[in-house]
Amino acid sequence: MATVGIYDSGIGGLTTLARILTRFPGNGIVYLADNLHHPFGAKSTAELFDIVKSSVNELANLCDVVVLACNTASTVYCADNVIRLLPPCNDLTFTKPTKKDVLLMATEGTLKRISIPENFFVAETPELATLIENEAELHYKSGHMDMWGLDAYIKERLMPFKGVRRVILGCSHYPFCMPQIAKVLGKIKFSDGNARLIEELSGRITPLYFKAASVKFMFSGKDETEKYNCILRLMTNGRI
């Protein structure tokens, strides 16, 4: 049984964890939430590199594979000892169209460190990851992860892009508010870096259908194990 280490600044990486649990049941998971240093978006490259490197080293001592389930962290830590989550901006499916019909949403830190195709729109949502964390804190004990409190913010930031056909989510927090994004933009398709991440991970670990999943949460700051277990159960319909 392989043990997978997952790193993110907060609950965003749970969206990657849920995908991993579905595709690779039975493996052990150690999830390190770096809530002491959240948010990542506005930190300098040098500062963020040191933060991520320290956490990667910590997970590497406990796990067989380390996954950076954070786009911003993945843009500054490029070593080959991790599997990185990055927005699929270079996928030819999205870059071939000559007209602008793709919207990229990501944190400030991710946007300034990646190459963005000329035919992409880019939304400015610098506070969104933190707002999602706040909404989760308000609602998870009530048994839901509804992000309705973000309706006004998302409408203000995304209404100018109504008419796009695809949204690339360049932050692992953003899948939590896909209903709110679709409410503003209409019928759209979503893409993120998890498909490529899962494909890369498949070369490192195998599913173990005869075993139950094992998930352990670690935190750089306040212990939020109850919160993270609750949110994960909501995301997996109680299977975990």
Alpha-carbon span 55 to 78, nearest angstrom: 14
Q: What pLDDT does residue 118 have?
A: 87
Is the Cβ–Cβ distance between 39 and 91 less than 8 Å?
no
Give the model's confidence band at 39: pLDDT under 50 very low, under 70 low, under 90 confident, else very high: confident
87 Cβ contact list (under 8 Å, min separation 6)? 71, 104, 106, 110, 114, 168, 169, 170, 192, 193
- Encode 21-45: b = buried (16+ Cβ within 10 Å), e = exposed: beebbbbbbbbbbbbebbbbbebee
CATH number for the domain formed by residue range(s) 92-192: 3.40.50.1860
Tokens of 198: 């899962």
The percentage of the chain sitting over the pLDDT mark of 90, rounded to a whole number, equals 82
| Average pLDDT estimate for 17-25 | 94
- pLDDT tens digit sequence for 155-211: 999 999 999 999 999 999 999 999 999 999 999 999 999 999 999 999 999 878 777
- pLDDT tens digit sequence for 84-136: 999 998 875 665 656 688 999 999 999 999 999 988 999 999 999 999 999 99
Q: Is the pLDDT of residue 42 over 90?
A: no
Q: What pLDDT does residue 237 have?
A: 79
182: burial class by Cβ within 10 Å (0-12, 13-18, 19+)? middle
Tokens of 186: 């209409």
Q: What pLDDT does residue 106 have?
A: 96
Domain ranges of the chain: 3-85+195-235, 92-192
Is the Cβ–Cβ distance between 194 and 85 less than 8 Å?
yes
- Which CATH class for the 3-85+195-235 domain? alpha beta
Q: What pLDDT does residue 211 have?
A: 79
Q: 92-192: same fold as 3-85+195-235?
A: yes
Tokens of 8: 């993110």
Is the Cβ–Cβ distance between 101 and 41 less than 8 Å?
no
Q: Tell me the pLDDT of the chain averaged across its residues.
A: 92
- pLDDT tens digit sequence for 206-217: 878 777 789 999
Alpha-carbon span 13 to 40, nearest angstrom: 13
Q: What pLDDT does residue 92 have?
A: 59
Cis previous bond, 39, omega within 30: yes
Q: Is the pLDDT of residue 47 over 80?
A: yes
